[in-house]
Structure 1
Amino acid sequence: MNSDLIRVFIGHDRRIPVCFSVMAHSINSRASRPVSITPVALSQLGHVFKREWHPLQSTEFSFTRFLVPWLCNYSGWAIFTDNDMIVRDDIAKLWDLRDDKYAVMVVKHDQLANDSVKFLNAPQTKYEKKNWTSVMLINTAKCKALTPDYVNTASGLELHQFKWLESESLIGNLPPEWGHLVGENQPNPNAKLVHYTLGGPYYNEFIDCEFSDEWFLEKENMLYCAQLEKSK
Structure 2
Amino acid sequence: MGSSNGENRPAVGDEQPFRIFVGYDVREDLAYQVCRHSILKRSSIPVEIIPIKQADLRKNGVYWRERGQTESTEFSFSRFLTPYLANFKGWAMFVDCDFLYLADIKELRDLIDNKFAVMCVHHDYTPKETTKMDGAVQTVYPRKNWSSMVLYNCGHPKNKVLTPEIVNTQTGAFLHRFQWLEDNEIGSVPFVWNFLEGHNKSVEGDLTTLPKAIHYTRGGPWFEAWKNCEFADLWLKEMEEYNKEAEKKSEE
Give the corresponding residue for 1:68.
82
Which of 225, 230, 241 in structure 2 is aligned with 1:205?
225
Contact 1:105 1:173 in 2 (8 A): yes
Give the corresponding residue for 1:216.
236
Query: Is there any run of 5+ residues in structure 1 with no aligned partner, and where?
Result: none
Which of 8, 28, 42 in structure 1 is aligned with 2:54?
42
Give the corresponding residue for 1:107.
121
Give the corresponding residue for 1:139.
153
| Alpha-carbon distance, 1:45 to partner | 0.3
Amino acid at match of 2:114: D
Of Structure 1 and Structure 2, which has the larger fraction of its residues in helix? 2
Q: Distance in 1 between matches of 2:152 and 2:248?
A: 40
- Partner SS, residue 220 of structure 1: helix
Q: Distance in 1 between matches of 2:193 and 2:99?
A: 11
| Runs of 4+ in structure 1 over 6 Å off | none
Amino acid at match of 2:171: S
| Alpha-carbon distance, 1:227 to partner | 6.1
Tell me how many residue pairs correspond in the alignment. Answer: 227
- Partner SS, residue 172 of structure 1: strand
1:19-34 to 2 correspondence within 5 Å? 19-34=31-46
Contact 2:15 2:46 in 1 (8 A): no
Contact 1:4 1:33 in 2 (8 A): no
CA change 1:73–1:185 in 2 (3 A) is: same
For each residue in 1:90-142, what CA deviation from the matched residue of structure 2 results, as whole angstroms up to 9, or x when unmatched?
01111111100000000000101221111111111000000001110110112
RMSD: 1.6
Give the corresponding residue for 1:16.
28
Q: Indicate yes or no: 2:216 matched with 1:196.
A: yes
1:219-230 to 2 correspondence within 5 Å? 219-225=239-245
Amino acid at match of 1:121: G
| Alpha-carbon distance, 1:204 to partner | 2.0
Which of 40, 44, 51 in structure 1 is aligned with 2:65?
51
Amino acid at match of 2:52: V
Give the corresponding residue for 1:175.
190
Q: TM-score, normalised by structure 1?
A: 0.94
| Alpha-carbon distance, 1:4 to partner | 4.2
| Alpha-carbon distance, 1:86 to partner | 0.4
Which of 158, 161, 165 in structure 1 is aligned with 2:177?
161
Amino acid at match of 1:114: K
- Partner SS, residue 45 of structure 1: helix
For each residue in 1:176-216, what CA deviation from the matched residue of structure 2 results, as whole angstroms up to 9, or x when unmatched?
11010001112467200000000111122221211111100
Contact 1:107 1:174 in 2 (8 A): yes
Give the corresponding residue for 1:149.
165
Contact 1:187 1:210 in 2 (8 A): no
For each residue in 1:48-95, what CA deviation from the matched residue of structure 2 results, as whole angstroms up to 9, or x when unmatched?
111001000011000000001001110000011000110000011111
Question: Percent of aligned positions with the same letter in both sequences?
Answer: 42
Q: Distance in 2 between matches of 1:17 and 1:5?
A: 23
Q: TM-score, normalised by structure 2?
A: 0.87
Contact 1:84 1:196 in 2 (8 A): yes
Q: Distance in 1 between matches of 2:248 and 2:215?
A: 33
Q: Distance in 2 between matches of 1:8 and 1:52?
A: 25
